[in-house]
Amino acid sequence: MTASALPARAVKAREPRPQRAREMAGNVGWGVLAWVVGIAFFLPVLWMVLTAFKPESAAQTWPPKFIFSPTLAQFRLVFSGWGPFVTHSLIATTVSTLLVLLLGVPAAYALSVRPVPHWRDGLFFFISTKMLPIVAAIGPLYVIALHAHLLDSIWLLIILYTAMNLPLAIWMIRSFMLEVPRELLEAARLDGAGRIREINGVILPIISPGLVSTALICVIFAWNELFLALNLTITNAATMPMFLISSVPQEGLYLAHLSAAATVASIPVILVGWIAQRSLVRGLSMGAIK
């Protein structure tokens, strides 16, 4: 390989100018293509935000309007009606995420740092629950909730969202715990640290950025969830996705109002996702990809 490598490199160093120019033009070409693809992919989001600032009459025109006098009227309308919905969403999302961390950290510890016998089966049990389609149990779930007096209650959503995100969180937290240097753990044990002190004093400070990204992933899934909310709540626990549905009236113009509601409902998760871009991959692959 070295024999063939040397002449090749020598040729490259004395590369004639036109070829280098062509190479640079090629790179610019790829860059332009990437930008075109990116913008095309982003276009629906852009259109949603743009439409949100239109008066209703300007949102339904042919050809579609790109220049118009922007108004905040639709947002005012959204903010006048979203109160209960956003409160329910915030409660369901925050409490379920905290519960997930509370249950997930010890479980991940028992599956990584000081693993239980058959820890692999445990890991695969958790992941297998993500494969069971919850939709299959929706009828009975309704009946159970009815008898438990949990129908249309925010607690029902909290319980279900916790179960929905827990497997993901356990896999993810576990992958962070495996990265804690074993020497640190050994040192803590030699100092006589018990399990609790090992977790609180050594592991948690090291994996706290990982816990934050785990929490963000859980927030995204809980905030966006519609199926369970739609089936099991009516008014007392209706969440943001249901607010969106309520912004589509039976008749009359609504595209601008809908776009404003969709923008408001999506913005928190979009911002969270933009900030947490790096950990997004790791979370979505359940810790498989670092």
Q: Which of residues 229-288 bind another protein (CB under 8 A)?
A: 230-231, 240-241, 244-245, 248, 254-255, 258-259, 261-263, 265-266, 269-270, 272-274, 277, 280-281, 284-288
- The answer to whether residue 208 forms part of the interface with another protein (CB under 8 A) is no
Q: Closest approach of Cβ 126 to another protein, in Å?
A: 6
Q: Which is nearer to another protein, 111 or 215 (CB)?
A: 111
Q: Closest approach of Cβ 113 to another protein, in Å?
A: 9
Q: Closest approach of Cβ 80 to another protein, in Å?
A: 19
Closest CA to 112 of 221, 219, 207: 207
Only one of the segments 30-38, 67-75, 78-86, 90-98 lies at the binding site for another protein (rule: CB under 8 A); that segment is 30-38
Q: Which is nearer to another protein, 72 or 281 (CB)?
A: 281
- The answer to whether residue 290 forms part of the interface with another protein (CB under 8 A) is yes
Tell which one of 48, 91, 98, 184 touches another protein (CB under 8 A).
48
DSSP 3-state assignment of 148? Answer: coil
The set of residues, in sequence order, having a beta carbon less than 8 Å from that of 68 and lying 6+ positions away, is: 53, 54, 55, 58
Separation of alpha carbons 155 and 176, rounded Å: 30
Tell which one of 19, 57, 128, 246 touches another protein (CB under 8 A).
128
Q: Restricting to residues 183-202, name those near another protein by CB under 8 A.
A: 195
Separation of alpha carbons 133 and 126, rounded Å: 14
- The answer to whether residue 138 forms part of the interface with another protein (CB under 8 A) is yes
Separation of alpha carbons 181 and 61, rounded Å: 62
- The answer to whether residue 104 forms part of the interface with another protein (CB under 8 A) is yes
Tell which one of 90, 91, 98, 127 touches another protein (CB under 8 A).
127
Spatial contact of 55 and 72, defined as CB atoms under 8 Å apart: no
- Long-range CB contacts for residues 260-264, cutoff 8 Å, separation at least 24: 260/52, 260/53, 260/74, 260/75, 260/77, 260/78, 261/74, 261/78, 261/82, 262/48, 262/52, 263/48, 263/49, 263/52, 264/75, 264/78, 264/79, 264/82
- The answer to whether residue 212 forms part of the interface with another protein (CB under 8 A) is no
Q: Which is nearer to another protein, 72 or 135 (CB)?
A: 135
Tell which one of 13, 14, 18, 63 touches another protein (CB under 8 A).
63
